[in-house]
Amino acid sequence: MKARWTLVAALGGAAAVYAALGASDPVAPAPVVSEHRTVVVREAAPPAAMFAAGPGAIAGTPTDRGAAPATPEPEPPTAEQAAAADVAMSVVDAAIGAGRWTDDDNVRLATQMHQLHVEDRDSVMQVWATAVNEQRLKIEAPPAF
Amino acid sequence: MKKSSVVGLVLLGSIFAGTALAGVRESRRVTVNITARRAEGSIGSTRNSSQATEYIQCTMSGDANYNSLVCLAVDPDGRTATCYLTNPSPYFLNTLNTLQGDSMLAFLWEYPSNKCTGMIVSNGSRWEPKVLAPASGAVVF
């Protein structure tokens, strides 16, 4: 009989503790969650292939943000393009020799620039820009090429 | 109170009143820093400058096959800075497209290629607008 009352008392205490905890920290029923995920799978090139292609093969790295996206290897310059590159470079060299860049230089260079091979354009502009930044070429007419 | 004191107080009051009503106004003339490889200036302040040699600009040109970007700045002391890109990336084109008549413009370049590595265009009320009347001594285009 005594054991029965002890069991009843224990059950009652447990119920009181459960009620107290439930009142102070209610546990909400778990909502039904429906989740949709889109998984994008990117195929990574094998490391060996990336290194074999060289660092330039990785487009979009911080070093090439200034250039346009990688394009196929350009054709080598034609004879006409090579001749135009010589003329363009001579225009820039003459201006640097004179120490000033004029409207006439703009016209002469613009005529050639549109015929140049892409690599020659870069070379001509680099020589021109280097002279300007080294204060060897006074700009009398803003560049228009 | 003397008449001159009254006039002085009125003048002082008008100065403080003007200060209190003005927002942030910044005039930024062209600066060229060859060592830091950076040039900048606000277009309005530069246009309004009394120094006829001072300017800052970026030019895009191109045809069906290629286009080029050339930025150029000349500071009041005549120091010149430039950078260029052939076939510039969309990063630069998008930035350049936000350039307005009274923007602040800055460009950066790398050495020794002198290619542009960065461009900043800022538009806002703080930058001095161009005035219609040409500054004395400035060349009118």
ipTM score assigned to the predicted complex: 0.80
Cross-chain residue pair A67–B88, CB shorter than 8 Å: yes
Q: What strands, in cross-sheet order, belong to the sheet with B38-42?
A: B31-33, B38-42, B104-109, B116-122
Task: Give the Å distances, CA to CA, from A2 to A10, A14, A15.
Answer: 12, 18, 20
In chain B, residues with a C-beta closer than 8 Å to the C-beta of A66 are 85, 88-89, 91-92, 115-117
CA B132 from chain centre, in angstroms, equals 16
What are the distances in angstroms from CA B141 to CA B52, B134, B138?
A: 12, 10, 9
- B35 at the A interface (CB within 8 A)? no
Alpha helices in chain B (DSSP H): 3-21, 43-48, 90-96
* Contact assignment for B61 to A144 by CB distance below 8 Å: yes
Compute, in degrees rounded to 10, the torsion defined by CA atoms B110, B52, A145, B38.
10
| A143 touching B (Cβ < 8 Å) | yes
The phi and psi torsions of A121 (rounded to 5 degrees) equal -60, -45
**Residue B132, pLDDT score:** 74
Location of structure tokens 């950076």: B38
CB contact under 8 A, A139 and B74: yes
In the 8-state DSSP scheme, what is residue B30? -
Identify which of B53, B57, B54 has the alpha carbon closest to the alpha carbon of residue B121.
Answer: B57
| pTM, entire model | 0.66
Which of residues 92 through 121 in chain A touch B, CB cutoff 8 A?
113-114, 118, 121
- Residue B64, pLDDT score: 83
Share of chain B above pLDDT 70, in %: 79
Closest residue in chain A to residue B63, using alpha carbons only = A114
Q: Does the beta-carbon distance from A69 to B89 stay under 8 Å?
A: yes
Mean pLDDT for the stretch of residues A119-136: 97
CB atoms B89 and A125 under 8 Å: no
What is the C-alpha to C-alpha distance for residues A45 and B136, in angstroms, rounded to an integer?
63
pLDDT in tens, B23-71: 999 999 999 999 999 999 999 999 999 888 899 999 998 888 788 999 9
The residues that bridge with B41 in the sheet, in sequence order, are B105
Does the beta carbon of A77 lie under 8 angstroms from any beta carbon of chain B? Answer: no
Show contacts of A76-82: CB within 8 Å, 24+ apart.
A76/A117, A77/A117, A77/A119, A77/A120, A78/A117, A80/A115, A81/A115, A81/A116, A81/A117, A81/A120, A82/A117, A82/A120
Q: Which of A69, A125, A143 sits opposite B72 (nearest CB)?
A: A143
Phi, psi of B137 (to 5 degrees): 90, -15
Tokens read off for A30: 């778990």
Q: Judge contact between B71 and B38, C-beta under 8 A.
A: no
Over the stretch A70-118, which tens digit does the pLDDT of each residue have?
666 778 899 999 999 999 999 999 999 999 999 999 999 998 998 999 8
Q: Crossing angle, helix A79-98 and helix A118-133, to 10 degrees?
A: 10
Looking at beta carbons, which residues of chain A come within 8 Å of B72?
A: 132, 139, 142-143
Residue B9 C-alpha, separation from nearest chain A C-alpha, in angstroms: 51
Q: Residue A31's pLDDT band (boundaries 50, 70, 90)?
A: very low
- Please give the structure tokens belonging to residue B3: 């008449």
Confidence of residue B1 (pLDDT cuts 50, 70, 90): low
Phi, psi (rounded to 5 degrees) for A45: -70, 145
